[in-house]
Amino acid sequence: MVQKKDAKQLLKKYLEGNCTDEEKALVEAWYNQFEENERPLITAQDQELQLKEIRSKLPPHFKSPRAIPLWPIIAATIVIALLATLHFYNSYSKKIAGNPNNDARATVKVQPAGNKATLTLPNGKVIVLNDVKSGEIAQATGFKIMKSKDGKLSYIIDGLGGNKEIGSNTIATPRGGQYQINLPDGSKVWLNACSNLRFSVGSSPFKREVELTGEAYFEIAKKTDKLGNRLPFLVKTSTQTVEVLGTHFNISAYRDEQKTTTTLLEGSVKINLPTGSKLLKPGQQATVQNNQINTQEADIEYVMAWKNGMFIFDDEPIEEIMKKISNWYDVDVVYLDADKKQLFGGSISRYAEIGKVLEKLELTNGVHFKIEGRRVIVMK
């Protein structure tokens, strides 16, 4: 195994361009062994310090504002990742050696979220979706509800209810739950944890309107009237109405957050407020706060991480990170003396056990955790 001292010397030679072919191959093979979804979680402060140190060691002609050769950038990336890994490995080894019953590991395993939701029918009946078998789970005049083998919910309209609204349904996910539903018009919705969606069920194709609390990703089916005009699809939250004409987008509108964020991936949406409206283009994001709309370019990978099975933390305060962990793993979070504003960055699978996620955060030496049942205690 390469020792820390030897590794630093090797990295220094790589950065200076003095490696042999064999040494260069060793460094790059070392870097490539890390999966993209297992990037080290390091604080923003640590990353900036490491970058400054690397820049200070570059030859003067590399510090010019003119074009910079690619290899120092690659080297910088490798150095940050590997030095972080060396630091984590040594810290982690000392921690385990000093305390074999490490708090984040020696606990009951808390599993990640799964397909959990309740469905409330127009007559008030509540169906626990994760408890019912696949097949037809409910029916009424004009429609029936089907659950697929992989847990998706679909509405089948048979037209027997006439051209009228039959009633409203509400699907709700708890902490530790997520769900996918195919709406009566063919639109698809993925609900994140702690979210609910209220929608109308009926044979009329003209009313396409839902109400959202929490977070959801939408793929809206394109529908037209008899004259060929596109039928709008409306998504209402507590702060805005989004008008859609057939598109893919994500909305985050949790009650405990001060803003609502809409991110457009494909198509076109219009954000409507009492004070005005804004049309979004693909790749744009609108933030609504205090009855004002602000738009910016979106980080699609970051926004869609939850749907794609990832946690991505982009220089986020530990308080915001723990909100996501609390919702996903259905745990309560208690802070002792931890700095809630300390920033962390990195990524890991959302389907890892909670202990694995907390271990990665602990390896920064900026925060420590203790799990007691379904409670996570955050400490310095």
Are both 220 and 357 inside the same structural domain?
no
pLDDT tens per residue, range 93-125: 344 334 444 455 544 678 788 899 999 998 899
Does residue 247 sit within a domain?
yes
Are both 128 and 258 inside the same structural domain?
yes
CB 165 within 8 A of CB 205: no
Q: What mean pLDDT do residues 179-193 have?
A: 95
pLDDT tens per residue, range 263-314: 999 999 999 999 999 999 999 999 999 999 999 999 999 999 999 999 999 8
Does residue 261 sit within a domain?
yes
Question: What is the share, in percent, of the chain residues with pLDDT greater than 70?
Answer: 69
Q: Count the domains in the chain.
A: 3
In terms of residue numbers, what domain contains 12? 4-98
Are both 298 and 319 inside the same structural domain?
no
228: left (phi over 0), alpha (psi -120 to 50) or beta: left
Dump the DSSP string for 168-219.
EEEEEE-TTEEEEEE-TTS-EEEE-SSEEEEEEEES-SS--EEEEEEEEEEE
pTM: 0.72
Rounded to 10°, the helix 44-57/70-98 angle is: 130
Residue with the two structure tokens 């910016």: 296
Question: What is the share, in percent, of the chain residues with pLDDT greater than 90?
Answer: 49
Question: Among the three residues 283, 303, 323, which one is the final residue of a domain in this structure?
Answer: 303
- Under the banding of pLDDT at 50, 70 and 90, the label for residue 8 is low
- Under the banding of pLDDT at 50, 70 and 90, the label for residue 67 is very low
Q: What mean pLDDT do residues 199-208 have?
A: 71
State how far the Cα of 270 lies from the Cα of 284, in Å rounded to an integer. 12
